[in-house]
Chain A
Amino acid sequence: MEKDKVPQDEGITEGITREVQYAINKNGKYEKVLSKGWEPKNIVNELAWKDIQEDIDFADEKIKSGKASPIMHYMAKTMMNIALLADYIELPKWKVKRHLKPKGFKKLNQQQLENYAKVFEISVDELLNFKLKS
């Protein structure tokens, strides 16, 4: 790719940084050129976030119908699956699975609630008084 063809499509970098792209200058030599971004990358990144949003919506649906606890919402929001969440909480997966149900969630003690809140970077209060956005 030639230097003057390095795309500068603002998107996922959000003006926070620019990425190094290797490109050929006028003398035919490679150099590092800073790029604000590239549309195809923006497209696929957006798609990934759309999928995450769908996971959150799915969790919210389940919470609404009383089939899941707020933990499921925050798990989706922080892009975790049960295995990763269990790793962070330092509990076996089957226990985390229980906490994803309203019944298991109610049985959480203060320490466990604090652990979840810490991993999700929210307060215990936010976790306990989780309200679905309507």
Chain B
Amino acid sequence: MKLDFEHIPAGHCENGVISSLLKYHGLNLSEAMIFGIGSGYFFAYMPFVKLNGIPIASFRPVPGMIFTKAAKRLGIKMKKQTFRKQPKRAMAELDKVLEKKLPVGIQGGVYHLSYFPPAYRFHFNAHNMTVYGKEDNTYFISDPVMEYATTLTSEELKKVRFAKGPLSPNGKMYYPINIPEEIDLKSAIHKGIKQTADWMLNIPVPLFGVKGIRYLSKRLRKWPEKLGPKRAAAYLAQMVRMLEEIGTGGAGFRFIYAAFLQEVAEVMQDDRYNDLSKEMTKIGDKWRNFSSQAAQTCKGRSSDPDGYNTVANLMLEIADDEERFFIEIKKLIK
């Protein structure tokens, strides 16, 4: 049994899955729209949360949050289930829902994804994909970060759903059970933007929002001296990966947000959002520039502090830009 489900490649897995699940049920909202409404834009530097032993700089809120917020603001009811240490039940439940002709979103680890390019396969557990059918031992998979739809065997899918380590999915699966006839898109957009602006400007902890960017800029300058050339390069390399790798749509989601703002301009019939979209594109271009320069610095594993100072300065510039941007956008939603 294979559902008539359209595979749509997306920048980011979480938004991509929700967007295409909703589309299957007749609601057309782009990935960018879901991202904006779910307040997907963020910055956080978390020295106490480590990935591969390196503190995380994240350009998005914790996994699952975009999804929960977007659904709530759109009035969509989702059924969510996890199955701690019950892989058999998790697979049986998935089959049961598929038989009802409902495609199912699942969280999974990427390490066991046999269809991924080998270089993508790290122990990262907050990936999302849609299962849209099953024939014998094969599941049909629509993974938004893949160009084409793929498949996994039952055994593989079980491993993916029960990957271990931080953010382990515990077989998590979800699907919409109620989508309202009328959706108040404008109000959902306002809520999404307002929260992002508040997060970026007003969290009273210096690790989040524009304050976080400035704080990390200060720390980053000291990396070569404090960590030595090898560790420093690994730290900087991980930042570039958070910005660009697997599913940010480029520049740590800044371009997706710019795309969202263009759609907002149309929904609101307000050209000022188009101007803001242009500003956001410039911010995205600066983050791209950051990645490009940072990668060059990493490449030689040079301990030359100049490379680190250059990107740290760039971050200060970006922090100012993002601050100005969110002060401006806040004025529009009052």
Q: Which residues of A contact B (CB under 8 A)?
A: 1, 11-14, 16-24, 29-30, 32, 34, 38-41, 43-45, 47-49, 51, 79-81, 83-84, 87-88
What residues of B have a CB within 8 angstroms of the CB of A51 in the complex? 234
Contact B123 A84 (CB under 8 A): yes
A38 to B251, CA, bound (A): 12
Q: Which residues of B contact A16 (CB under 8 A)?
A: 115-117
Q: Are A22 and B244 closer than 8 Å at their CB atoms?
A: no
| CB < 8 Å neighbour of B237 from A22, A47, A84 | A47
17 interchain pairs, CB-CB under 8 A: A1-B251, A1-B285, A12-B119, A14-B117, A14-B119, A21-B250, A22-B11, A22-B249, A30-B277, A40-B244, A43-B299, A44-B238, A44-B294, A45-B119, A48-B52, A48-B237, A87-B164
Q: Considering the chains assembled together, what is the distance between the CA atoms of A2 and B262 in angstroms?
A: 15
A41-B248 Cα distance, complex, nearest whole Å: 12
Q: Is the CB of B255 within 8 A of A30?
A: yes
**Are A32 and B11 also in contact (CB < 8 A) when A22-B258, A84-B164 are?**
yes
Of A13, A17, A44, A83, which is within 8 A of B295 by CB?
A44
B232-263 contact mask (Cβ, 8 Å, vs A): 1 or 0? 01100110110011110111000110110010
Hey, what's the 0/1 contact readout for B287-303 against A, CB within 8 Å counting as 1?
Answer: 01001101110110100
Q: Are B240 and A44 in contact (CB under 8 A)?
A: yes
Q: Does A1 lie within 8 Å of B255, measured CB to CB? A: yes
7 closest residue pairs by CB, A with B: A40-B295, A30-B259, A22-B255, A12-B119, A44-B237, A87-B164, A43-B295
On whether the beta carbons of B145 and A19 are closer than 8 Å, the reply is yes
Cross-chain contact A1 with B281 (CB below 8 angstroms): yes
Contact A34 B256 (CB under 8 A): no
Residues of B within 8 A of A (CB): 9-11, 32, 52-53, 111, 115-120, 122-123, 145-148, 164-165, 168, 233-234, 237-238, 240-241, 244-247, 249-251, 255-256, 258-259, 262, 277, 281, 284-285, 288, 291-292, 294-296, 298-299, 301
Please, which residues of chain A bring their CB within 8 A of the CB of B294?
Answer: 40, 44
A1 with B123, Cβ < 8 A, contacts A22-B249, A22-B250, A40-B292 known? no
Contact between B241 and A44, CB atoms less than 8 A apart: yes
Which B residues are CB-close (under 8 A) to A24? 281
- The answer to whether B245 touches A45 (Cβ under 8 A) is yes
User: Which B residues are CB-close (under 8 A) to A48?
Assistant: 52, 122, 234, 237-238, 241
Q: Quick check: B259 and A22 within 8 Å, CB to CB?
A: yes
Contacts of B241 in A (CB 8 A): 41, 44-45, 48
Q: Tell which of B32, B234, B256, B288 touches A47, judged by Cβ atoms closer than 8 Å.
A: B234
B111: min CB distance to chain A, Å: 8
Say whether A21 contacts B255, CB under 8 Å.
Answer: yes
Q: Which residues of B contact A30 (CB under 8 A)?
A: 32, 255, 258-259, 262, 277
Complex Cα spacing A47 to B297, Å: 12
Contact of B9 among A12, A13, A34, A87 (CB under 8 A): A34
> Which of B9, B233, B244, B247 touches A41 (beta carbons < 8 Å)?
B244
Q: How far is the CB of A76 from chain B (nearest CB, A)?
A: 12
How far is B238's CA from A32's CA once the two chains are assembled, in angstroms? 25
